């Protein structure tokens, strides 16, 4: 009995511990899903609307991430070769230096766009503009995308965080009409906003559209080939069926431009009215999962770099003044910016070809993917980690 029981005891230990890793494996499999953005299947299945009632969703912050302080005036003047820092401070004390037509003071900081004068003569200083800031906003139905609405309707800008002085103002990347909800990007950089909207780069917008009545094969092909509108011909890059109940049918559509009410007008051109429209993707930026209607999340530097590359923009890097050494100990004109040309060019033409019926004919978002997934992944992950450390369910941007 004893001899037989010893192998059983020794052999029983691995058997008892074998099932233990299973729960951890399942937990790891669920993490990527929570960090992704919403997809078309989430809208059709009802998960998109169900998440609005959950209490453990992404709580956006009420304030933006802090940015580095702007340089001090006497330091910038010294770097420009106008004298030593002590000499510049002496000129400031003597009242011989002004900033924006106001007398300067010791310790004053200057920023991009400030007008500096010495003895009444303008001085050209090289101050880098602030890096662009980008936020993803979940626009609800009933808000208009304008700063000043004559009808005094709620606007999306009322819920956005304030930008510090000198950082510009929020500019929307495209618009969504009053009755359309979903992803809306805002940036403090007018150049970035214009390039993200420009048809030359063909950044896809993906929508979940619920229409009255099912589309026939002929109607789908017309929408893919192009239908005439009052402001020109418009076409979808792809159309995918999503099912539906009764007369309501869901379709996943992509388009590479953003004219006023374009998606709705295209469906109306083939005899179908849109009863609900949700934008779930702009380029490779997905609507963050768990981001409630009327809330926002700020993108971090890595995601902003990916957006700039997709728009064909070069990354802005601080440039040392003439004769000043940079971080690598090199003199000269400063660090060379990353090249991000050709990203997305020509995709607008490709998106308007073919009738693949929703198989993603443009193949567009690959150049915009980050190393960890779609744009916005890193920002949402960072904020969720901050929520776990801080504890609290304070919601912002609402």
Whether 6 maps to a domain, the answer reads: no
Whether 13 maps to a domain, the answer reads: no
300 & 234 share domain: yes
Task: Name, in order, each residue with C-beta under 8 angstroms of 22's C-beta and a sequence gap of 6 or more.
Answer: none
301 & 240 share domain: yes
Q: Spell out a b/e string for 205-243, using b for 16 or more CB atoms within 10 Å of the CB, else e.
A: bbbbbbbeeebeeebbebbbeebebeeeebbbbbbbebe
94 & 220 share domain: no
What is the domain count for the chain? 2
Nearest to 304 by CA among 225, 367, 370, 390: 370
Give the pLDDT score at 33: 39
185 & 117 share domain: no
Give the pLDDT score at 163: 83
pLDDT profile of the chain (398 residues), mean per 10: 43 44 42 61 86 61 61 88 91 92 90 87 83 90 91 91 80 93 92 84 89 94 95 94 86 92 95 95 88 89 82 60 42 36 37 40 41 56 58 42
CA distance 175 to 89: 48
Whether 19 maps to a domain, the answer reads: no
Domain of residue 249: give its range.
51-65+131-309+346-390
Give the pLDDT score at 122: 92
Could you tell me the CATH number of the domain that includes residue 281? 3.30.2350.10
103 & 141 share domain: no
Give the pLDDT score at 386: 59
Give the pLDDT score at 395: 39
185 & 260 share domain: yes
233 & 273 share domain: yes
* CB of 229 closer than 8 Å to CB of 265: yes
Whether 40 maps to a domain, the answer reads: no
Q: What is the CA radius of gyration of the chain?
A: 27
116 & 262 share domain: no
Give Cα 363 to chain centroid, integer Å: 20
Could you tell me the CATH number of the domain that includes residue 109? 3.10.290.10
93 & 229 share domain: no
135 & 116 share domain: no
Whether 15 maps to a domain, the answer reads: no
CA distance 215 to 217: 7
Name the 3-class secondary structure at 234.
strand
282 & 250 share domain: yes
Q: Parallel, antiparallel, or unpaired: how do β-strands 121-123 and 116-118 relate?
A: antiparallel
112 & 257 share domain: no
Catalytic annotation, residues: 177
């Amino acid at each position: 009995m004893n001899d037989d029981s010893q192998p059983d005891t020794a052999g029983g230990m691995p058997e008892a511990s074998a099932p233990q890793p299973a729960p951890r494996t399942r937990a790891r499999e669920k993490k990527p899903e929570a960090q992704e953005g919403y997809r078309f299947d989430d809208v059709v299945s009802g998960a998109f609307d169900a998440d609005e009632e959950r209490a453990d969703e992404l709580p956006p912050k009420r304030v933006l991430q802090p940015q580095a302080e702007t340089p001090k005036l006497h330091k910038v003047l010294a770097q420009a070769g106008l004298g030593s820092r002590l000499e510049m401070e002496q000129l400031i004390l003597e009242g011989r230096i002004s900033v924006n037509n106001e007398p300067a003071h010791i310790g004053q900081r200057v920023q991009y766009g400030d007008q500096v004068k010495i003895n009444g003569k303008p001085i050209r200083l090289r101050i880098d503009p602030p890096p662009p800031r980008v936020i993803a906003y979940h626009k609800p139905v009933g808000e208009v995308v304008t700063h000043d609405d004559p009808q005094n309707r709620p606007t999306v800008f009322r819920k956005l965080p304030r930008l510090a002085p000198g950082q510009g103002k929020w500019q929307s990347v495209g618009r969504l009409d009053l009755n359309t909800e979903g992803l809306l990007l805002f940036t403090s950089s007018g150049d970035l906003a214009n390039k993200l909207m420009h048809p030359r780069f063909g950044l896809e917008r993906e929508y979940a559209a619920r229409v009255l009545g099912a589309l026939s094969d002929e109607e789908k092909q017309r929408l893919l080939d192009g239908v005439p509108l009052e402001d020109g011909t418009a076409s979808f890059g792809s159309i995918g069926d999503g099912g539906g109940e009764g007369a309501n049918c869901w379709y996943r559509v992509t388009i590479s431009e953003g004219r006023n009410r374009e998606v709705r007008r295209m469906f109306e051109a083939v005899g179908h009215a849109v009863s609900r429209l949700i934008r779930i993707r702009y380029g490779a930026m997905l609507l963050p999962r768990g981001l409630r209607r009327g809330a926002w999340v700020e993108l971090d530097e890595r995601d902003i770099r990916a957006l700039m590359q997709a728009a064909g923009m070069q990354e802005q890097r601080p440039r040392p003044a003439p004769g000043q050494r940079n971080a690598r100990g090199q003199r000269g004109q400063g660090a060379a910016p990353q090249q991000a040309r050709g990203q997305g060019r020509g995709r607008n033409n490709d998106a308007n070809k073919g009738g693949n019926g929703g198989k993603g004919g443009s193949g567009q978002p690959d150049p915009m993917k980050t190393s960890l997934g779609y744009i916005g992944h890193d920002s949402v992950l960072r904020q969720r980690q901050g929520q776990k450390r801080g504890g609290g369910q304070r919601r912002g941007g609402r």
